[in-house]
């Protein structure tokens, strides 16, 4: 009947506007840390009157941006927002208060903010002011987009994405220490976009020495979107004439080193623009304690971390159970006998068949394939 039809249409509209808010919020991924990348849409009588997303650096917040654009049209309107509006006086006044002051009639919010300073109080404040608040629409999608914020707030570590590029026979190189072209141009572009959407990218010193990588985002017009580059370099072996050090003044370079690394090496690399950060050694195996590494990065505001290699670092993160998402790029060529296994000592099935992991998405990138696994 007519009444059921109306409800159905209203629900479809809610979904459409929330999906738009999610899309807008994603614009901020990789540039709002330590804040989450939130999206907001304000709708009055079926017309979008304001759109906003968390700005680079994390402020202004999304709702304030959207309210600013809507102006007086926000009165009586509906706000769609991908995270609970904040209720605390942080570096900016509470968004909930701005929403109330603007005369918004209804708020559709995707998910509660686990930040203990907010944690339901934003929604409560809106309701106390007589605003109708509906929570949970597209909650799973929002949780996925805010995974970095949630991990950092709840577990004191970043959301960890492991990228692996393997040949058709699951190798990452033909010979140890020899960079091998595995995937093509489309895959490269996709990885550069992923770098832009992360706060930091991390590799081990072996990969830094073998590949002399730059780890920046080199998509046209997106050079400024490069993540902070992090190298696990316990003994500070990174050469001063590496591309990473040479570019350290334009794109931050953090070297995580053991407390016992030589002071002279630290002084030299520090003078070249790298930031040296001491992290505790692992108690059992040689190398840094990965949990301590993640805690340190989280403390410094990193919410989304991309781990790009190599085999040993990938295997240690997997073995420690510290990977939330795996991007498995597979090329068409095989490398053959003697190639380097993707996960130093571990079969790739620890990811592909892991009980806690499931396929989230897959794609074809030119001759290569991409499969994204995530913790379920």
Show which residues are catalytic.
Answer: 63
CA 314/CA 172 separation, integer angstroms: 11
Q: Is the Cα dihedral 74, 80, 83, 84 positive or negative?
A: positive
Our finding on whether 149 is near Zn ion (CB under 5 A) is: no
Apex 18 CA angle, 13 and 19, nearest 5: 100
Q: How many residues bind ligand AOF (CB under 6 A)?
A: 19
If we measure between CA atoms, which residue out of 129, 141, 70 comes closest to residue 105? 129
The structure tokens 């696990």 sit at 232
**Per-residue contact string for residues 199-218; x = within reach of ligand AOF by CB under 6 A:** --------------------
CA 298/CA 315 separation, integer angstroms: 21
312 carries a ligand binding annotation: yes
Our finding on whether 118 is near ligand AOF (CB under 6 A) is: yes
207 carries a ligand binding annotation: yes
Closer by beta carbon to Zn ion, 84 or else 211: 84
Q: Please, which residues have CB within 8 angstroms of residue 115's CB and are 6 or more apart in sequence? A: 86, 88, 149, 153
Q: What are phi and psi of 205, to 5 degrees?
A: -65, -35
Our finding on whether 66 is near Zn ion (CB under 5 A) is: no
Apex 86 CA angle, 92 and 154, nearest 5: 110
Segment 156 to 185, residues that bind ligand AOF, using CB under 6 A: none
Q: How far is the CB of 47 from Zn ion (least distance, A)?
A: 24
Segment 89 to 108, residues that bind ligand AOF, using CB under 6 A: 90-92, 95
Choose, by CB under 6 A, the member of 24, 41, 49, 85 that binds ligand AOF.
85
CA 177/CA 373 separation, integer angstroms: 27
Apex 27 CA angle, 24 and 32, nearest 5: 115
96 carries a ligand binding annotation: no
**Per-residue contact string for residues 28-67; x = within reach of ligand AOF by CB under 6 A:** -------xx-x---------------x---xx-xxx----
Q: How far is the CB of 160 from ligand AOF (least distance, A)?
A: 19
Q: How far is the CB of 52 from ligand AOF (least distance, A)?
A: 8
Closer by beta carbon to ligand AOF, 62 or else 269: 62
CA 159/CA 298 separation, integer angstroms: 9
Choose, by CB under 5 A, the member of 37, 81, 95, 118 that binds Zn ion.
95
CA 92/CA 59 separation, integer angstroms: 8
- DSSP tag of 365: E
- 132 has which bridge partners? 106
Show binding-site residues for Zn(2+).
61, 86, 95
Residues of each annotated binding site: 61, 86, 95, 165, 195, 207, 211, 215, 218, 308, 310-316
- The annotation places the binding site for substrate at 195, 215, 218, 308
Where along the sequence are the contacts to Zn ion (CB under 5 A)?
Answer: 61, 86, 95
Using CB under 6 A, list all residues that contact ligand AOF. Answer: 35-36, 38, 54, 58-59, 61-63, 83, 85-86, 90-92, 95, 113, 115, 118
């Amino acid at each position: 009947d007519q009444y059921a039809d109306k409800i159905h249409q209203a629900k479809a509209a809610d979904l459409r506007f929330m999906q738009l808010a999610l899309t807008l919020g994603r614009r901020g991924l990789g540039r709002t840390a330590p804040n989450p990348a939130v999206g907001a849409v304000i709708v009055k009588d079926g017309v979008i009157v304001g759109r906003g997303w968390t700005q680079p650096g994390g402020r202004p917040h999304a709702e304030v941006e959207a309210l600013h654009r809507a102006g007086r049209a926000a009165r009586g309107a509906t706000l769609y927002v991908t995270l609970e509006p904040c209720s605390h006086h942080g570096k900016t006044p509470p968004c909930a208060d701005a929403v109330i002051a603007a005369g918004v009639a209804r708020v559709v919010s995707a998910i509660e903010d686990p930040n203990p300073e907010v944690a339901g109080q934003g929604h409560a404040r809106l309701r106390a002011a007589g605003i109708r608040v509906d929570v949970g629409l597209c909650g799973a999608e929002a949780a996925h987009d805010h995974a970095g914020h949630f991990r950092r707030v709840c577990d004191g570590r970043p959301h960890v994405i492991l990228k692996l590029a393997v040949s058709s026979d699951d190798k990452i190189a033909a010979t140890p220490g020899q960079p091998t072209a595995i995937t093509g141009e489309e895959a490269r572009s996709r990885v550069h976009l992923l770098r832009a959407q992360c706060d930091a990218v991390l590799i081990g010193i072996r990969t830094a020495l073998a590949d002399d990588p730059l780890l920046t985002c080199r998509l046209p017009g997106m050079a400024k979107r490069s993540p902070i580059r992090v190298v696990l370099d316990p003994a500070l072996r990174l050469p001063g004439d590496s591309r990473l050090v040479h570019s350290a003044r334009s794109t931050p370079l953090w070297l995580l080193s053991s407390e016992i690394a030589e002071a002279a090496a630290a002084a030299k690399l520090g003078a070249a623009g790298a930031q040296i950060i001491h992290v505790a050694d692992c108690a059992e195996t040689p190398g840094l304690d990965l949990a301590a590494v993640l805690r340190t990065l989280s403390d410094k505001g990193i919410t989304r971390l991309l781990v790009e290699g190599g085999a040993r670092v990938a295997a240690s993160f997997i073995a420690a159970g510290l990977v939330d998402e795996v991007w498995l790029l597979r090329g068409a060529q095989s490398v053959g006998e003697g190639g380097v296994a993707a996960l130093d000592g571990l079969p790739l099935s620890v990811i592909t068949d892991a009980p806690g992991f499931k396929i989230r998405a897959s794609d074809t990138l030119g001759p290569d394939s991409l499969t994204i696994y995530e913790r379920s």
